[in-house]
Amino acid sequence: LRVFFAFLEMEHVELFVQLLAKTDGRDKIYRTMQYGARLIGAILSAKNKPKETQEFGAKLTKFSSTMSDGRKLFRLWKWVNEVPKLAQLMGSNEKPVMKGLNIGKSLSTLLYFLFDNYIWITKVQLIKGDSAKASQRSGFFWFLSLLFQIAMDLLSYYRVQMDHVKLLTAPAVDAAAAKKLDDKRTALHLSLLKTVCDVPIAGNAAFKGTLTPRVTGALGLVSS
């Protein structure tokens, strides 16, 4: 326990977070491959396709599943990223609503990663456990974190729009400030698109939905 709490000292956590950040770029590539293979595999596996095409589609579907399990390895210990975030948020002077949403998202993300790590540990049989139940819980906390993200993006978008109105009604239009607001708005559009595409996938995992592989692959590919 002493070793664990010593590790959680902020300077150690920050160094570990920097190390984990280097894996994010690779994970995005593998995520695109995973959902791309899921989509193409589902299309090629259709009953009206030739047998050889169906067999290739089945291989792509299996590849997608393997990629999904492999990506869990990149997410080991990623819950540590949320520890300094939560510590920062607790002491921040952010407005109460945005602060609450940020804390909710960070806490949900932390729990998502913890259950996700647990799933990988059970799948490689380091410990025995119910990976199906853990997968559902992981999906629930992912789903919850996405809802917090959408609420944050919408609130941020509202603030950007209010700033834009103030800028337009000012005696002299600041071109640099207008460009900055446009960039923020574009970033929020992309964030909302990604998050909205991920919500059905997370909800499907959390609530045992009936999302088809084609839809899952298409949504995941767009969000990637």
Q: How far apart are CA 188 and CA 167, in angstroms?
A: 19
Q: At what angle do helices 96-123 and 51-74 cross, to 10 degrees?
A: 110
Q: Please write the tens of the pLDDT for every residue from 98-108.
A: 999 999 999 99
Residue 164, H or E segment: helix 131-168
- The residue among 115 and 12 whose pLDDT is bigger is 115
Q: How far apart are CA 25 and CA 5, in angstroms?
A: 30
Mean per-residue pLDDT, 193-221 = 94
Q: Lowest mean pLDDT of 4-13, 60-69, 123-132, name the range.
A: 4-13
CA distances from 156 to 152, 160, 168, 185 (A): 6, 6, 18, 9
Q: Please write the tens of the pLDDT for every residue from 129-142.
A: 888 888 999 999 99
Q: Please write the tens of the pLDDT for every residue from 7-52.
A: 555 555 666 566 556 666 678 888 888 999 999 999 999 888 999 9
Place of tokens 């999906």: 139
Q: How far apart are CA 149 and CA 147, in angstroms?
A: 5
pLDDT on residue 35 = 94
Q: Please write the tens of the pLDDT for every residue from 158-192.
A: 999 998 888 878 777 678 888 888 999 999 999 99
Phi/psi of residue 99, nearest 5 degrees = -60, -45
Helix/strand/coil for 196: helix
pLDDT on residue 25 = 67
Question: How many CA atoms does the CB half-sphere of 107 hold within 13 Å?
Answer: 9
Helix/strand/coil for 123: helix
From the centroid of its chain, how far is CA 165?
Answer: 32
pLDDT on residue 160 = 92
Neighbours of 177 (CB within 10 A): 14
- The residue among 1 and 123 whose pLDDT is bigger is 123
Return all residues near 25 (Cβ < 8 A) that are at least 6 apart: none
pLDDT on residue 4 = 47
- The residue among 32 and 197 whose pLDDT is bigger is 197
Neighbours of 180 (CB within 10 A): 14
Q: How far apart are CA 83 and CA 136, in angstroms?
A: 23
Q: Please write the tens of the pLDDT for every residue from 74-87.
A: 888 888 889 888 88
**Pick from 80, 137, 135: nearest CA to 110:** 80
Q: Is residue 139 within 8 Å of residue 206, measured between CB atoms?
A: yes
